[in-house]
Amino acid sequence: MKNFIGVVMAVVLLRVQGKKPNNGYCVQNSCFTVHTDVLDFKAAQLSCKNKQGSLMSVRTRDINDAISDLLTGFSGQFWIGLTHKGDRCTDSSLTLKGYTWITGDNTTHFKNWKSNDIACSPRCVSLSKHEKWTERLCNDTTDIEGYLCEYQNTKKCERLTPTSVVLYETPFGFSRKDLNEVPQGSNATRLDLKTKYICLEGEWRKAPWNCEVYKGGCEHNCDKRNDTYICTCPPGYKLETNAVSCEKAQDDPCEKAGCSHSCSPRGNNYECLCPSGYALDKDKKTCKDIDECDDKRLCPGKNFQCVNTDGSFECHCMNGFKKEQDTCVDIDECESGPCDHDCVNVVGSYHCECLNGYKVSPEDRHKCALYCPQWECPAVDCDPNNPHQCDCPRGFILDEREGLLFCTDINECDMLYCDQHCNNTIGGYNCSCYEGFNLIGNTKCEKTDISEEPHTTTFDIFTSTPTEVPPSISAGGLLGISVCTVVVILLMACLTYYLMKCCGKMGSVTLDKGFTEDVHGLQQVTTEKYTKKLSNRNIYINHNIQND
């Protein structure tokens, strides 16, 4: 039965894909469908292929006669699977004139050409309800109305032989009452009794069949009980005599039963039922999922694990493994280069390692951070184009001695970050408080009891919290600070010189002017002129005395 279900499920998947055909028919171990989509020849063939078929081949008169039935009500042209590559000219003396079917062969017992014209380039064939084969360019969609698909129908069922009318629903999307050859996976419904059948491997099986295929043919719900399948009805309804349909029930005990899934009447009583993968809970009404993974025998392969799902379970590979065929093999995570430095693959996982002077970052295990476990370490992270431009771990500063570069621990306690007591550590520092104080915000100390004075001579360190250290200063940073300082000093010196020079000139001008008015400056003069000047000065003085 499992093989039957596998075949039918493949047909079911085909049935639900794409647009339904406009018509269909089955004859001589093949089924044909009509599709009214305007496509060129290549696209039409691809559409049929996606439906697990191919463009129609008309190899016999019986198949040709079916065309008039298929194309009833259509007036346009439809592609069939006959094509000419154009590598040589067609030959009208041949049955197919050099054309081949889309399947690659030229076997045929029938021909129906509209003309005997010769073609020496690629051509394809279409036909209409008048059945004549028309040669045309493969991309010519003038008056094309659609295309005809063909499907193999080897595992068919003969039509049912009841006296009532039967409706056949095929997996190819069309339904008919007059099929003589019924394709596998088709449903047949007797319209008088509403009984249902399914065609599997050339045999008809009465509903209910496997619940996974068309709900077992049930009108409402299909449930599995032990090794059999039964149809169930919603509350207020009961099964009809055909075992698949439901009818309104009188005084149905299931109407007020409150079953979470389905209910089966048992005389004046009822029984709640659950689908496969579920079991009745303690209240006998609610269905709860069965954890199949409790059975340790499931998923027995190495590195497999059982994953419970709603109503079922799945076997997956454990983390760090992938499935190849029926086994789980280790994934080499290092192939994707997830680590900053070195990657070490281990079974089911991997880890990152860092070069000397680095350690795996606590924030991201894929990254490497600079690391120095002592008060001083050689600088390792330097610019290859500028060896004096190096980075140091946080809490360290670059130092150069005798041509060698070191990362030296910064004594943050010299910066007075802490309110009371500071303890320098490698790459950081700790603040702590005197007895009677609490550490606030890592650096501040707050008194806890105002009645007590703080101890200043001795203290107990009762809290020690690592504090974030300032970033390191590189050699480039120090050089920049030095250059800026020199430039500022030079500017100040120039400004001072300029001001002094300006003030000196102003003082000289004032002095010269005043002295000239009195003695005309220090200059060489003749005796005559000097006497005259002095005489005039004495007169001026005497005049002033007299006036006084």
Model confidence over 477-521: pLDDT tens digits?
555 676 677 778 888 877 777 676 665 444 433 333 333 333 333
**Percent of the chain at pLDDT above 90?**
40
Model confidence over 352-403: pLDDT tens digits?
999 888 889 888 989 998 888 889 998 888 888 887 888 898 889 888 888 8
Tell me the mean pLDDT in the region 123-129.
Answer: 94
Model confidence over 159-195: pLDDT tens digits?
887 778 999 999 999 999 988 899 998 999 998 888 8
Tell me the mean pLDDT in the region 138-158.
Answer: 93
The C-alpha R_g of the chain, in whole angstroms, comes to 51
DSSP state of 508: H
Model confidence over 72-93: pLDDT tens digits?
899 999 999 999 999 999 999 9
- pLDDT band per the 50, 70, 90 thresholds, residue 467: very low
Q: Are 34 and 177 in the same domain?
A: yes
Is the pLDDT at 1 greater than 70, yes or no?
no
What CATH number does the domain containing 257 carry? 2.10.25.10
- Cis peptide bond upstream of 378, omega within 30: no
- pLDDT band per the 50, 70, 90 thresholds, residue 224: confident
Q: Are 247 and 384 in the same domain?
A: no
Q: Of the given ranges (50-64, 153-167, 222-236, 466-480), which has the lowest mean pLDDT?
A: 466-480
**Percent of the chain at pLDDT above 70?**
81
Distance CA(318)–CA(305), nearest Å, equals 6
Asked if residues 410 and 472 have their Cβ atoms less than 8 Å apart, the reply is: yes
Domain that holds residue 340: 333-370
Distance CA(425)–CA(441), nearest Å, equals 19
Secondary structure (DSSP) of 190-203: ETTT--EEEEETTE
DSSP state of 135: E
Query: Of residues 285 and 469, which shows the higher confidence score?
Result: 285
Distance CA(151)–CA(161), nearest Å, equals 25
pTM of the model: 0.48
Q: Are 229 and 85 in the same domain?
A: no
Q: Are 357 and 230 in the same domain?
A: no
- pLDDT band per the 50, 70, 90 thresholds, residue 3: low
Q: Are 110 and 93 in the same domain?
A: yes
What CATH number does the domain containing 100 carry? 3.10.100.10
Number of domains into which the chain is organized: 4
Which of 320, 341, 370 lies at the terminal end of a domain, its last residue? 370
Model confidence over 9-24: pLDDT tens digits?
555 555 546 678 999 9
Tell me the mean pLDDT in the region 410-420.
Answer: 89
Q: Are 23 and 169 in the same domain?
A: yes
Which of 370, 398, 430 lies at the terminal end of a domain, its last residue? 370
Distance CA(215)–CA(103), nearest Å, equals 36
Q: Of the given ranges (70-84, 110-124, 212-226), which has the lowest mean pLDDT?
A: 212-226
Is the pLDDT at 67 greater than 80, yes or no?
yes
Asked if residues 292 and 312 have their Cβ atoms less than 8 Å apart, the reply is: yes
CB within 8 Å of 140: residues ≥ 6 apart? 40
Domain-embedded: residue 386 = yes
Q: Are 176 and 256 in the same domain?
A: no
Which of 467, 500, 516 lies at the terminal end of a domain, its last residue? 467
Is the pLDDT at 476 greater than 90, yes or no?
no
Q: Are 164 and 224 in the same domain?
A: no
Q: Are 263 and 393 in the same domain?
A: no
Is the pLDDT at 330 greater than 50, yes or no?
yes
Distance CA(31)–CA(246), nearest Å, equals 34
Q: Are 231 and 178 in the same domain?
A: no
Q: Are 106 and 141 in the same domain?
A: yes
